[in-house]
Structure 1
Amino acid sequence: MTTETSASGPMTHRGSLVRGVLFYTGLVVTVIIWAIISLPSFPLPIRWRYWWITRWCDLVAVLLRVFGNIRVNVEGLEHRPATPGVVLAKHQSAWETLNLLPWFYPQTWVLKRELLRIPLFGWGLGRLDPIAIDRGASREALRQVIEQGERRLAAGRWVVVFPEGTRVLPGEKVRYQQGGALLACRAGVPVTPVAHNAGEHWLRHGWRLRPGVIQVRIGPAIDTTDKSPAEVIRATEAWIESAMETLPTAPR
């Protein structure tokens, strides 16, 4: 891109690459260490092991600040419902899979079953009781989201769903899927939409990190009473995509 061919561009590119290498090295080292020291927590009740295992997410936030010079600013905390519901969030990077936790705690993620097969990381992830689905079996996956999601909500946990289904590059749009909206309608809980620009800083591909501020915007809860999943997902998509247009982009 033009910014990388300017006088300062190559230096910026190399700097962001160095930041990324240091960050990912720290990520691998800490996940190995944390997974090992978390093994004794596996037999404990979910509340205790959940608290302990998710402390690693705090370490990730520290690594981002130290090596990536990436901070987080959140707006709209006043919009959060008083009781847990379904969170439908933009999906641009790995950041939002780990770092929405401070504002929606405790939470359950809807994620790919393959992640549980990753040595050490997957073992710890599995002990957090996620909703692990086979994306190749769409009907069975939807049944799992509804049945397990209702149980997690009844247990007082937020259910975080990424309605795009996969990470999407900044500026790109894909069709939102209705699974999370269907769960919210069935369970009679509101949907909380979340927009952010994490993909501008923690990139989907490659090793580079871009310094700056990840802007997170939490929208007003969407009431699901007497609404169809299609209506709820349309309202969610409209709010998120509108908010995305106002979030800053990072220098390339």
Structure 2
Amino acid sequence: MLILRNLIYWLILVISLPIMFFMGLPFMLLPQGANKVGKIWAQCMLWCLKNIIGLKYEVHGVENIPTEPAIICAKHQSGWETLALQDIFPLQVYVLKKELFLIPFFGWGLKLANMIAIDRSKGKQSMEHMLKQGIKRKQDGLWIVIFPEGTRMKAGERGKYRLGGARMAQAFAMDLVPVAHNSGEYWAKNAFLKYPGTIQVRIGKPIAHTLGTEAELMAACENWIEEQQTQITGQGPCYQKM
């Protein structure tokens, strides 16, 4: 039955993408329209995960979400958080690799939503481009999501935290909001199957962009996230003890 439920979920996802894209296209041409359409689609997919797969989530620390736009610095273990963060936080854009824009419908929607695209092969130039795009998104009143480890990590793994989030925080005078979760224990990296259960999400208090150097700012964010990870890791079926 689990395989069948997953097939149904994937079928809905594939069919809903072009439908949502074309139905929402007129709204996507309005300011932040694509972001709002994307949020609705993400909420629909979360509903499907809950009611078809049985995959739910609990959020702790909602009271820590600031009223002003901030930079969400989150753990990245699966595709789940790209959906859930849109439901948990206000309208946002993601820092992502530009190749995602090439994906039919999904990538086109990302481009219309003015996501912050980077070319990892261009090094310093890529960082400058990210900062230039990011300040425009802040001026539009959008939050910014960045995965500081740069790529998806398996549940229980810890990657190298990069300074991009801290650099944006200081350049844009935006605080960092750390987010820990264990989505990879129910939706493993690059896996087809998603498992029923309850993902734990923890939101930390904002870390002031004036805290110190870029390295000190990111270290504070990393330490909080990884400390929380030790408390919620090892609960789901996809977790494999290292």
Report TM bin, short chain.
over 0.9
TM-superposed CA distance for 1:107, in Å, is 0.5
Q: CA RMSD in A?
A: 1.5
Corresponding position: 1:26 with 2:12: yes
TM-score (norm 2): 0.92
The residue that corresponds to 1:250 in the other structure is: 236
- After alignment, is 122-131 or 19-28 more displaced? 19-28
Question: Which amino acid is the alignment partner of residue 34 of structure 1?
Answer: M
TM-score (norm 1): 0.89
- After alignment, is 165-174 or 120-129 more displaced? 120-129
- After alignment, is 66-75 or 51-60 more displaced? 51-60
The residue that corresponds to 1:12 in the other structure is: none
The residue that corresponds to 2:26 in the other structure is: 40
The residue that corresponds to 2:115 in the other structure is: 130
Distance across 2 between alignment mates of 1:28 and 1:84: 32
TM-superposed CA distance for 1:83, in Å, is 0.4
Structure index of larger Rg = 1
TM-superposed CA distance for 1:156, in Å, is 1.4
Distance across 2 between alignment mates of 1:139 and 1:18: 46
- After alignment, is 80-89 or 132-141 more displaced? 132-141
The residue that corresponds to 1:4 in the other structure is: none
Task: Give the alignment of 1:91-130 within 5 angstroms.
Answer: 91-130=76-115
TM-superposed CA distance for 1:226, in Å, is 5.0
The residue that corresponds to 2:155 in the other structure is: 170
Unaligned runs of 5+ in 1: 1-14
TM-superposed CA distance for 1:206, in Å, is 2.3
Corresponding position: 1:200 with 2:185: yes
CA contact (8 A) 1:18 1:208 kept: no
- After alignment, is 69-78 or 145-154 more displaced? 145-154
Q: 1:165 to 1:126 in 2, by over 3 A?
A: same
SS at match of 2:87: coil
Distance across 1 between alignment mates of 2:122 and 2:6: 35
Distance across 2 between alignment mates of 1:86 and 1:73: 21
Question: Which amino acid is the alignment partner of residue 162 of structure 2?
Answer: Q
Percent identity between the two aligned chains: 37
TM-superposed CA distance for 1:27, in Å, is 1.0
Q: What are the Cα deviations for residues 165-195 of structure 1, in whole angstroms up to 9, with x where unaligned?
A: 0000001111101001110011222110000
SS at match of 1:73: strand
The residue that corresponds to 2:67 in the other structure is: 82
CA contact (8 A) 1:19 1:209 kept: no
TM-superposed CA distance for 1:54, in Å, is 2.6
Q: What are the Cα deviations for residues 116-173 of structure 1, in whole angstroms up to 9, with x where unaligned?
A: 1111111112111100111222212211221211221222111100001000000111
CA contact (8 A) 1:17 1:207 kept: no
| Count of residues paired in the alignment | 237
Question: Which amino acid is the alignment partner of residue 185 of structure 2?
Answer: E
Question: Which amino acid is the alignment partner of residue 10 of structure 2?
Answer: Y
